[in-house]
Structure 1
Amino acid sequence: MRLRDAVVVVTGASSGVGRATALQCAGRGARVVLAARNAPQLGEVARECRRRGGEGYAVPTDVADERAVRDLAMAAVARFGGIDVWVNAAGMGIPAGLEQAPGRDLRRLLGVNVLGAVHGARAAVPIMQRQGRGVVIDVASLLGTAVEARFVGGYAMSTAALVTFDEVLREELASVGEHRIAVCTVLPGGPRTPVVRPAVRRSGRAPWRPVSARPSECVARAVVRTAVRPRSRVLVGRYARPLHAVHAPPLAAVRRGSLWTAGRRVGRAAAMLVVRAAARHRMRA
């Protein structure tokens, strides 16, 4: 896909990875729809997008609100006629361990990090199906899937859920023969620094092993490459690939193992049915 004149929706666009992604897309001539709660910062990003040669259209949005996300999608279609790429980059962290984190904060975190992406996909996929094409990109992290998560358990839990959501969405689309929409998960080798910085300040320690948390611009470059050439999983960072290889067995192997196990269970069940039928036949005889 060429990004020039493509319509790219980016959530979390007021700062961090979302902002960097929006600016890099604009630099390639994309028409970028910017979503976040902070309207003044969105306006600044929109102006910077225009300075870089693209278009920037700010739509203040709380991604935890499903209706607001649907309105965001409709605003993109009304303004530019469609949606080519949807990037879920909105995220937050809680500066406390799971035992100390208030329930209200945990619900908000899951609402933004997980349900925000779910809302985005549910809003974007039907539009992409009508168009016959599209790319959905979720920015997650290896934190919670392959990296020890201390002091930021809520964030790690949400990224693990996001990875699972993407796998399920890919399978559901494939099951109905929809292969024109790519669902991509970008996995930096460490957490996004702006999201977890409060936890570092409070604890005085880094909440992960030293796996090189990637600068926002580096992760954004991976997002842009994924929009141009979609892949299911994109690892970002020097140590991301070996960590992922060690902690996450290849999905195809897991599927083959599951099918083999299921086949054995079915085979045993069928054998038992045959044995029981033979026993009943002998009793009648």
Structure 2
Amino acid sequence: MSVRLKELAQQCVVVTGASSGIGLATARRAAARGARVLLAARDDAALATICDEIRRNGGTTEYLAIDVASEDAVQQLADKAVERFGGFDTWVNNAGVGLIGPLRDIPTEDHRRVFDTNYWGVVYGSLAAARHFRERGTAGAIINLGSVGSDVQAPFATPYTATKFAIKAFTDGLRIELMQEKLPVSVTLIKPSTIDTGFFVHAKTTFGTPTKAPPPRYTPEVVVDAILYAAEHPKRSIPVGNEAIIGAAVAWLFPGLTDRAFSKITPEAMADREHDQPKPDNLSDVPAEGKERYGWYSARSFSVTTAAQTHPKTTLAAAATLSVLAIAAIPSIRRRLASTRK
């Protein structure tokens, strides 16, 4: 069944993890494009401030402070969207927490907490959204934030990466089941490369030092382009950043080589000795939020591979133009080669 999604300006969009990083950037951009936006996160104060800012800029928004690790709380979020906006058209599962360090040093309860938020938060949100679309018989989009870590293991981030592998499996399974039901619901997995947000700043670490995002890094706006494109155009998955495609391909083609290369990485490579790590971490507490990125390190604001997926017509036209120019240049190249042989 083909799925036809509304233009963003006609939608209500629910975004979890909206108090910082990718979620915050998504909420701001969606509101600026005319969507009604419902924000969710644990930081009540940050959400209130963000909503005030969006309203001052002409946007329509509401918020609910919840922990997505609670199924009841996630259902309250869905009910809030119905109560405030009459329903929703796109649900973005973005909330997540970080845990970095060797497995030998990670307590089981911390490992479990990462799954409670990153994996079960996606499950609860996806099922609540699917239930809403099923009961109303309306088209909609469910957008889940995976990671390059959905395809490639990240050193010293095994619990986090395990949740992203699990999110990929769940998202694919949900898509298949909704297709079998013939429901007009698009289910998309977004797979960002390393993004310059507060993830590493607020992640809990057992290294004894703050950690930093490994390069190359991208700004949150690159991911937002993919998310908002998926809100209007059914897509199975969108890797964000060149590394999300290249890294996955290399790991699939050369798994042993990838394992050996990653085994050479040490905690020192991820240590950030230039900045003090803010407290508390976001695993079991609620650090002060409200920033899209910290900007401590340089980040790219454009990705060719992501642009190719979110602007297919422009990309096709550019490719066709380059092909024509290349073909037109062949006679000149041949003449030059011939002249050099004389």
TM-score (normalizing by structure 2) = 0.67
How has the CA–CA distance of structure 1 residues 200 and 215 changed in structure 2, closer, same or farther, with 3 Å as cutoff? farther
- Native 8 Å contact 2:17 2:95 kept in 1: yes
State yes or no: 1:118 paired with 2:123.
yes
How far, CA to CA, are the matches of 1:193 and 1:19 in structure 2?
10
Runs of 4 or more consecutive aligned structure 1 residues displaced over 6 Å after TM superposition: none
- Native 8 Å contact 1:97 1:154 kept in 2: no
1:138 maps to 144
2:9 maps to 4
How far, CA to CA, are the matches of 2:93 and 2:248 in structure 1?
21
3-state SS of paired residue (1:149): coil
3-state SS of paired residue (2:91): strand
State yes or no: 1:149 paired with 2:154.
yes
Which of 20, 44, 59 is residue 15 of structure 1 equivalent to?
A: 20
How has the CA–CA distance of structure 1 residues 97 and 144 changed in structure 2, closer, same or farther, with 3 Å as cutoff? farther
- Native 8 Å contact 2:102 2:206 kept in 1: no
How far, CA to CA, are the matches of 2:106 and 2:190 in structure 1?
27
**1:4 Cα offset (Å):** 1.0
| Amino acid paired to 2:74 | V
**1:226 Cα offset (Å):** 1.4
Q: Deviations over 1:202-238 (max 9, x none)?
A: 4566676x4x232222212221111121211001112
**1:96 Cα offset (Å):** 2.3
How has the CA–CA distance of structure 1 residues 27 and 154 changed in structure 2, closer, same or farther, with 3 Å as cutoff? same
How has the CA–CA distance of structure 1 residues 42 and 205 changed in structure 2, closer, same or farther, with 3 Å as cutoff? closer
Percentage of pairs with the same residue:
36
- Unmatched tracts of structure 2, length 5 or more: 1-5, 254-342
Paired residues, number: 245
**1:144 Cα offset (Å):** 4.7
State yes or no: 1:28 paired with 2:13.
no
State yes or no: 1:95 paired with 2:90.
no
Which of 69, 78, 81 is residue 76 of structure 1 equivalent to?
A: 81
- Native 8 Å contact 1:182 1:231 kept in 2: yes
- Unmatched tracts of structure 1, length 5 or more: 250-285
3-state SS of paired residue (1:136): strand
3-state SS of paired residue (1:48): helix
How far, CA to CA, are the matches of 1:139 and 1:184 in structure 2?
9
How far, CA to CA, are the matches of 1:171 and 1:135 in structure 2?
14
| Amino acid paired to 1:109 | V
Which of 207, 221, 226 is residue 222 of structure 1 equivalent to?
A: 226
TM-score (normalizing by structure 1) = 0.80
How far, CA to CA, are the matches of 1:164 and 1:17 in structure 2?
22
**1:248 Cα offset (Å):** 5.4
- Native 8 Å contact 2:150 2:191 kept in 1: no
**1:88 Cα offset (Å):** 0.5
How has the CA–CA distance of structure 1 residues 95 and 242 changed in structure 2, closer, same or farther, with 3 Å as cutoff? closer
Q: Deviations over 1:40-91 (max 9, x none)?
A: 0011111122233321101111100000100110110011111100000101
1:190 maps to 194
- Native 8 Å contact 1:200 1:207 kept in 2: no
Q: Deviations over 1:111-137 (max 9, x none)?
A: 110000000011111111214211000
- Native 8 Å contact 1:7 1:30 kept in 2: yes
| Amino acid paired to 2:230 | T
**1:201 Cα offset (Å):** 7.4
